[in-house]
């Protein structure tokens, strides 16, 4: 997903919609995604997550490299690294780097971060006794080594990255002219140990779609092609919704007042057979203060869409599974969204109830059984 591309006169190596040997200009917002100037800025869609995984997986599986460095804009890189941390099946290291000061500015930090990543990869401090990566993906910024799961940009300045979750996140550092040092290792699963990496994803799962007669029906969703590459059409649609105190309109708030969730629920049932929600609610529980919002999210669950709940901001508590909701632990909402997307591709959607507002005991038991697999991943990744 490069920030620049060929606009004329050059082979469009990244184009997939032209014939072999054709020369065609690359299209802004489709083939390349510039950061600046702001009025021309473009952001990759969620479909790009498949392209990212396939490209990096192929490179690291080629046997040509000791590791890799992923560079990206500083507000974006935290999500990409966690996605790759979950989806890549590799024993090699991958470091992320950004720059808080652009090239040409006084004391720009980008080149130092790149050199530190090279030193980290060649030092092999990331390797366990068998030579496999034990740190997972890391972001190396300003001589600190952050775990991909916990890193977040806090400010646009050198040193502006923070560790989220309240229980670590900085694995070590690289000193001035010294060696890379690892003091802590993540206990969560990653890359070759991930339960949702690309090798462990099935070729096909079952999603849910609303038929013309309004029934919720199962539909097959192909996840990978014959060569094992992730399909763009497989990337689930997961939305983040927020909640706070004093949001209900009155003392009798009901489902029909939740127009934002209802609209998303309708859209997903029409267009996205693999879909879900992340609720960023109260800390640390991930709860909502509105009974209507709670009920409409239960409707989503009983319509085949898992809902994960996390606390707001950089939540340091461990949001637990309650009722029919997945507990998102101490993940931020953006990271929980990516993990839920990966789980949907591994397990498929939830079994829908005939009447999502009035599920039977047997339907609830089936939903809880499926949610247990989701929760096991959220507890360990």
* Residues 359 and 232 both lie in one domain: yes
Residue range 168-226, pLDDT digits in tens: 899 999 977 778 999 999 999 999 999 999 999 999 999 999 999 999 999 999 999 99
More confident residue, 268 or 43: 268
User: Does residue 174 contact residue 183 with C-beta atoms inside 8 Å?
Assistant: no
How many distinct structural domains can be found in the chain?
3
* Residues 205 and 318 both lie in one domain: yes
Residue range 320-377, pLDDT digits in tens: 999 999 999 999 999 999 999 999 999 999 999 999 999 999 999 999 999 999 999 9
CB atoms within 10 A of CB 40: 10
* Residues 15 and 149 both lie in one domain: no
- Distance of alpha carbon 241 from alpha carbon 102, whole angstroms: 33
- Distance of alpha carbon 14 from alpha carbon 335, whole angstroms: 28
* Residues 212 and 173 both lie in one domain: no
* Residues 67 and 26 both lie in one domain: no
* Residues 173 and 152 both lie in one domain: yes
* Residues 56 and 86 both lie in one domain: yes
Instruction: Give the residue-averaged pLDDT of 113-128.
Output: 96
- pLDDT at residue 13 in the model: 54
Asked if residue 86 has pLDDT above 70, the reply is yes
* Residues 148 and 225 both lie in one domain: no
Q: Which domain covers residue 304, as residue numbers?
A: 201-378
- pLDDT at residue 9 in the model: 66
Asked if residue 137 has pLDDT above 80, the reply is yes
* Residues 108 and 185 both lie in one domain: yes
* Residues 11 and 155 both lie in one domain: no
The domain that holds 317 is classified in CATH as 3.40.50.40
Q: Give this prediction's pTM.
A: 0.94
Least Cα distance to 277 among 289, 290, 294, 252 occurs for 294
* Residues 342 and 250 both lie in one domain: yes
Residue range 302-326, pLDDT digits in tens: 999 999 999 999 989 999 999 999 9
């Amino acid at each position: 997903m490069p920030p620049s591309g060929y606009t004329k006169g050059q082979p469009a190596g990244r184009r997939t919609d032209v014939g072999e040997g054709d020369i065609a200009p690359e299209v802004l917002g489709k083939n390349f995604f510039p950061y600046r100037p702001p009025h021309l800025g473009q952001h990759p869609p969620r479909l790009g997550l498949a392209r990212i995984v396939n490209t990096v997986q192929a490179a690291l599986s080629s046997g040509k490299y000791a590791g890799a460095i992923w560079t990206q804009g500083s507000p974006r890189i935290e999500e990409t690294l966690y996605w790759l941390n979950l989806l890549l099946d590799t024993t090699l290291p991958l470091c992320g780097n950004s720059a808080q000061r652009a090239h040409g500015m006084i004391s720009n930090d980008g080149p130092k971060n790149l050199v530190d990543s090279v030193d980290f990869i060649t030092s092999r401090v990331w390797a366990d006794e068998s030579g496999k990566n034990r740190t997972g993906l890391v972001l190396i910024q300003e001589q600190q080594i952050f775990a991909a799961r916990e890193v977040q940009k806090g400010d646009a300045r050198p040193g502006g990255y923070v560790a989220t979750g309240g229980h670590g996140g900085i694995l070590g550092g690289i000193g001035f002219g010294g060696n890379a040092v690892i003091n802590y290792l993540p206990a969560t699963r990653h890359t070759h140990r991930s339960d949702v990496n690309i090798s462990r994803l099935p070729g096909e799962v079952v999603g849910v779609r609303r038929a013309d007669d309004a029934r919720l029906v199962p539909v097959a969703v192909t996840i990978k092609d014959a060569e094992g590459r992730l399909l763009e059409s497989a990337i689930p649609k997961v939305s983040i919704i927020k909640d706070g105190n004093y949001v209900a309109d009155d003392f009798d708030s009901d489902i029909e007042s939740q127009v934002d969730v209802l609209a998303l629920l309708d859209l997903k049932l029409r267009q996205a057979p693999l879909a879900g929600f992340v609720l960023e609610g109260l800390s640390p529980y991930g709860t909502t203060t509105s009974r209507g919002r709670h009920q409409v999210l239960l409707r989503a669950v009983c319509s085949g869409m898992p809902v994960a709940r996390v606390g707001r901001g950089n939540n340091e508590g461990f949001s637990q599974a309650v009722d029919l909701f997945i507990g998102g632990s101490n993940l931020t909402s953006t990271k929980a969204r990516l993990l839920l997307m990966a789980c949907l591709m591994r397990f498929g959607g939830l079994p829908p109830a005939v009447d999502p507002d009035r599920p039977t005991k047997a339907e609830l038991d089936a939903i809880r059984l499926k949610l247990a697999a989701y929760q096991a991943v959220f507890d360990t990744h």
